[in-house]
Amino acid sequence: MSIWWSLHLRREAASVPLARRLLIGTMETAGVDPDISFDLSVALSEACANAVEHGGDDGAGGPGEAYRVTAYLDGERCRIEVADTGPGFPAPVPGGPQGVARPASPEAESGRGLCLIRELADHVHIGSAPGRAGAVVSFDKVLKWRENAPLVAV
């Protein structure tokens, strides 16, 4: 069985726990192991927080006031994508550090979100949206199921 949903959220701090609760509720209802649900919900919170903070610079009412979250529970895997309309990630500089998720210094108050997502998920893709402005963070994780899970993949 497959479940998917997509949300179009305002770039406001209150949208982060909303997305997280919807994901946890979906996985709990489906019978996903609570540890897997927790890992994915933390990763989703980090990706949403980044979209809220960095995801757009349009004026009031513009498309930069929102971001999109899509989640797929398909078979034995959950895939989550968070896309915004901000400036995206800078292109790599030849000869410079590669990748957009560089470790933050221990004293930094921010900058750990993308690294945390990489630690919690099995596969992560972080980049800019092809053909338009914005960043896309997508990640997935193999699911484990509770015993007698109602929607377990067969």
Going along the chain from its start, the domains and CATH numbers come out as 3-142 (3.30.565.10)
Task: Give yes or no for residue 58 having a pLDDT over 90.
Answer: no
Q: What is the mean pLDDT of residues 136-150?
A: 91
pLDDT category, 78, cuts 50, 70, 90?
very high
Position 71 pLDDT exceeds 80: yes
52: which 2 tokens?
Answer: 């809220």
Tell me, what's the pLDDT at 89?
Answer: 74
State the pLDDT at residue 51: 93
58-65: long-range pairs with CB below 8 Å, 24+: 58/85, 64/11, 65/10, 65/11
| Residue 106 pLDDT | 56
Instruction: Give me the pLDDT at residue 151, please.
Output: 72
Q: What share of the chain is helix, strand, coil (3-state, %, to 5)?
A: 30, 25, 40
Query: Across the strands, what pairs with 7?
Result: 69
26-31: which pairs have CB atoms within 8 A and are 24 or more residues apart? 26/71, 26/73, 27/73, 27/78, 29/150, 29/151, 30/1, 30/3, 30/73, 30/149, 30/150, 30/151, 30/152, 31/145, 31/146, 31/148, 31/149, 31/150, 31/151, 31/152
Token pair in block for residue 49 = 């927080």
